[in-house]
Amino acid sequence: MPPSQAHATAFDPNALNLVRVATYDRVVAAPLVRVWENVMDWAHLPHLHETSFDYVELVQAGDWGWRTWSNAGHTDHVELTVVDNARYVARSYLSGQQVSEIWTTLTTAGAHTEVHVEFYFPGADAASIEPLGNAMLSLYTRLWDEDEAMMCQRHHRLEEKRDSATEVALGTEASLLESLAGGATILFQLQRQEYQLREWRGSLIAHSAICPHLLGPLTDADLSAGRLRCPWHGYEFDLESGQCLQPGDARCSLAPAPQLALIDGQIIARTA
């Protein structure tokens, strides 16, 4: 299905006398392919950007872009439309009336991506331009900061070479417990999978440190409910079985947890 907005790839298709209130430029330390992945990934909005999006529900999506409800009453929405291989436009609507139009241009810069954003509001008068512009710059700085961290980490995961060992010595139990008590994050790799060592219910355990959905981080997740939650898309996994609990239709599970054994005073991690 195409965008609901008629002539969605045109500037100001609703003839709203749009006024530019600000522009935003930055260089993102991730390649263009990761940035376009991020643009088309509406599902991360209420999780990675939970302080900015309190409600997101998909209406439809496709190669053209996506459309989401912005409130539970289904009166407000956002529609993002891909214009060409370098531009996209996002429009926000309240009760069906367009309230903003944001144009973004992406330019490859080798391993990095140049981002140029222009913010437009209908009929903005001289007195409202600066406060509107400042608000949008503050919002987009925060959103791109969060997105850039995710894109860079995902790109690293896709490119890295992991250890293929089937056994690794982690250290003495006493030293590991001391390090964990001091807040250290203990990571190790087995058969090209990455794991985190944790203390849970009085014992040392190890669990996958990488979400199998889109390689998000599972490190330092709150284990109090016996679950691991990925901050990128909200996927939740049972700590013991590795099964995905949320969303219900997910078709992924955690890599099997390694076995931990005490041998000659050392904690040894082995593939299960």
pTM above 0.85, yes or no: yes
Give the mean pLDDT of 253-259: 95
Domain boundaries, the chain: 18-159, 167-270
The arrangement of strands across the sheet holding 203-208 comes to 186-190, 193-200, 203-208
Give residue-wise pLDDT tens across range 185-207: 999 999 999 999 999 999 999 99
Which of the four CATH numbers 3.30.70.260, 3.30.530.20, 3.40.50.300, 3.30.1310.10 does domain 18-159 have? 3.30.530.20
Question: What's the pLDDT band for 13 if we cut at 50, 70, 90?
Answer: very high
pLDDT for res 1: 77
Q: How far is CA 90 from the centre of its chain?
A: 18
Chain position carrying tokens 């992924």:
252
Give residue-wise pLDDT tens across range 29-71: 999 999 999 999 999 999 999 999 999 999 999 999 999 999 9
Instruction: Report the share of the chain in percent with pLDDT over 70.
Output: 100
272: pLDDT strictly greater than 90: no
Bridge pairing between strands 65-69 and 57-62? antiparallel
pLDDT for res 203: 93
- Alpha-carbon distances of 226 from 78, 141, 221, rounded to whole Å: 35, 35, 10
Domain boundaries 167-270, corresponding CATH code: 2.102.10.10
Give residue-wise pLDDT tens across range 142-153: 999 999 999 999
CB 115 within 8 A of CB 27: yes
Rounded CA separation 109/25 (Å): 14
82: pLDDT strictly greater than 80: yes
pLDDT for res 131: 98
Same topology, domains 18-159 and 167-270? Answer is no
Rounded CA separation 86/212 (Å): 29
